[in-house]
Amino acid sequence: GEHPEPSRDRRNSVMDLSVTVGGVSLTSPLVAASGTVGSVVDFADVIDFGVYGAAVAKSVAPEPWDGRPPPRIAPVDSAMLNGIGIQNPGIEAWVRTHGDQIGSLGTPVWGSVVAHDAAGFGTVATRMSATPVTAIEVNLSCPNLQGLPFALDASASAAVVRIVRAATDLPIGAKLSMDAEPIQSVAEAVFEAGADWVVVGNTVMGAAIDPETRRPRLSGGIGGYSGGPIRPLAIRAVMNIARDLPDIPIVGCGGVSTAAHVIEYVLAGASAVGIGSAHFADPHIAQRITKQLHRYAEAHSVASITELRGAYEPW
């Protein structure tokens, strides 16, 4: 277990964790990633959101979505596949159930919008803007009516972001897919369309088959792969965007479970860092990471986390 810190004045040795992402000030670089903390409100008795800069609610669509039949989650090695299908109650029920409570958490809550067509994203963003959410994340990894994720197509992604931009005055983050190659072209397109930052990235598409039953481990066959093994893919994407498009703020996300992972994302160029699947193993992970960040700061004489942004040293 952890030993209590010696009681001494640590004010001079604790890192300033405040960051700015696309003009939005956060008290911490840690963001609770969408899809891992429910509506945020319904996890507030399990997770102390006070240590996060922001928490992102699960994506909401114009109408209720049932999601996919089980099995919807499969552990694979040290990571997981999910094919949940963005089950959600639809925006009207979401606003009725959670709308008023969001403002009482004390931590900024970002909504997440999803739809099968660009107009649907606008519908959800308009309704969501009437609640206390402080920003809107655009989940571009959802398939469109043709079955292709918006996130794989720069112009389709930009069209969605333009509609959301017209629907709300709130800051917008566009959640990209690391399956897009090159991801820089999608990042540039959504930024020009009005996104204030990009989230890099979502799960990567994957599949697994059970040799005993010969069936896929997910009912839908393929699903989103998340956890530690995707971190190098996301780090590469963050590095590439930060190098080629330095004006675009980035929230790095994927495989984060320690302070070292957070610092890795920041060194690569991220302004803030999402914690996702790691919540399932440890709901208190953000407290642990925050303590570790201060220890790192002390060991390396870092006064502010922003000093580290993009500060990796190429060979």
Angle, CA 301 vertex, CA 12 and CA 274 arms, to 5°: 95
**Angle at CA 223, nearest 5°, toward 217 and 226?**
100
Which one, of 130, 87, 96, 83, lies nearest residue 111 by Cα? 130
pLDDT tier, 314 (very low <50, low <70, confident <90, very high otherwise): very high
Asked whether residue 94 is assigned to any structural domain, the reply reads: yes
Q: Is the separation of the CB atoms in 191 and 163 below 8 Å?
A: no
> Cβ neighbours of residue 53 under 8 Å, at least 6 residues apart?
17, 19, 26, 27, 28, 29, 30, 31, 107, 108, 272
In contact, 36 and 279? CB cutoff 8 Å: yes
Residue 173 to residue 250: CA distance in whole angstroms: 9
Region 50-71: mean pLDDT is: 97
Which phi-psi region, left, alpha or beta, contains residue 227 (left: φ > 0; alpha: ψ -120 to 50)? left
Backbone angles phi, psi at 207, to 5 degrees: -150, 160
Task: Count the domains in the chain.
Answer: 1
Residue-level pLDDT at 127: 98
Tokens for 113? 């919008």
Span 33-48, average pLDDT: 95
* Amino acid (one-letter) located at 96: R
Between β-strands 73-76 and 19-21, what pairing exists: parallel, antiparallel or unpaired?
unpaired
- Domain annotation covers residue 142: yes
Please choose, from the candidates 147, 140, 229, 220, the residue with its C-alpha nearest in 3D space to the C-alpha of residue 177. 140
pTM: 0.94
What confidence score (pLDDT) does residue 2 get?
56
29 within a domain of the structure (yes/no): yes
Which residue range forms the structural domain that includes residue 15?
11-308
What is the distance between the alpha carbons of residues 38 and 40, in angstroms, rounded to a whole number? 5
Confirm whether 6 is domain-assigned. no
Residue 30's CATH number: 3.20.20.70
The answer to the question of residue 88 being in a domain is yes
pLDDT tens digits for 210-268? 999 999 999 999 999 999 999 999 999 999 999 999 999 999 999 999 999 999 999 99
Residue 123 resides in a domain: yes
Residue 314 domain flag:
no
Asked whether residue 296 is assigned to any structural domain, the reply reads yes
Taking the C-alpha atoms of residue 130 and residue 136, their distance in angstroms, rounded to an integer, is: 12
User: In the beta sheet, which residues pair with residue 172?
Assistant: 136
Categorize the per-residue pLDDT at 298 as very low, low, confident or very high, splitting at 50, 70 and 90.
very high
Contact 83, 68 (CB under 8 A): yes
Q: Could you report the per-residue pLDDT of 86-140, keeping only the tens digit for each?
A: 999 999 999 999 999 999 999 999 999 999 999 999 999 999 999 999 999 999 9
Q: Which of 142, 167, 251, 275 is catalytic?
A: 142
Residue 142 annotated among the catalytic residues of the structure: yes
